[in-house]
Amino acid sequence: MLAKLMMALMPKKQMLKMFTIAFKSKRSIQSIVDDVEEVCAEYRFALLHHYNYHEVVANKGFPIDRKVYIYEICQAKVASMMLTSNPHFAPFMPCRIAVYEEGDTTIISTQNMQMMIDLIQSQEQLHSEAIRLFTALQNMMKKLKG
């Protein structure tokens, strides 16, 4: 019911902005992609997987006219803490970063975790670690932005 109400009252672009965080960069997509692994390590994120998504969909017969890269990253300590006490958060894990072209701009985006973090306020240690992780993720994205 809440979802229907939100859809009726909020423009879709506004809703997307509420659920995602995006940084625009004038750096080339290739220069950002080249830096992801090093910057992940600097901010203590393990790079679990990455996808050249434009190639994945093209290989399935659905080419797109932009490059899209998706990275799955993790901080195992926070993941362990979260899954120990909140296994229903598993579908939101691991953290993902998308890097894609939009005209002459490169976008670096992720989901806005703030609402999820707010749900665990009563778990002080986990809440603190989740805030630290989310802050590190945003700082990492800002560094990639340049």
Verdict on whether the full-model pTM lies above 0.85: yes
Mean pLDDT by 10 residues, the chain (146 residues): 63 78 97 98 97 97 97 97 94 96 96 92 95 97 98
Q: Looking at the domain assignment, is residue 6 inside a domain?
A: no
Give me the pLDDT at residue 7, please.
Answer: 60
In a domain, 3, yes or no: no
The answer to whether residues 96 and 113 touch, using CB atoms and an 8 Å cutoff, is: no
Residue at 54 is within a domain: yes
Query: Does residue 8 belong to any structural domain of this protein?
Result: no
Tell me, yes or no, whether 38 lies in a domain. yes
Q: What is the pLDDT of residue 6?
A: 61
37 located within any domain: yes
Read off the CATH number of the domain in which 83 is found.
3.30.310.70
Angstrom distance (rounded) from CA 136 to CA 131: 8
7 falls within a domain: no
What is the rounded CA–CA span in Å between residue 33 and residue 137? Answer: 16
d(CA 113, CA 118): 9
> Domain range for residue 59?
20-145
Which pLDDT value is given to residue 9? 66
How many domains, in total, are found in the chain? 1
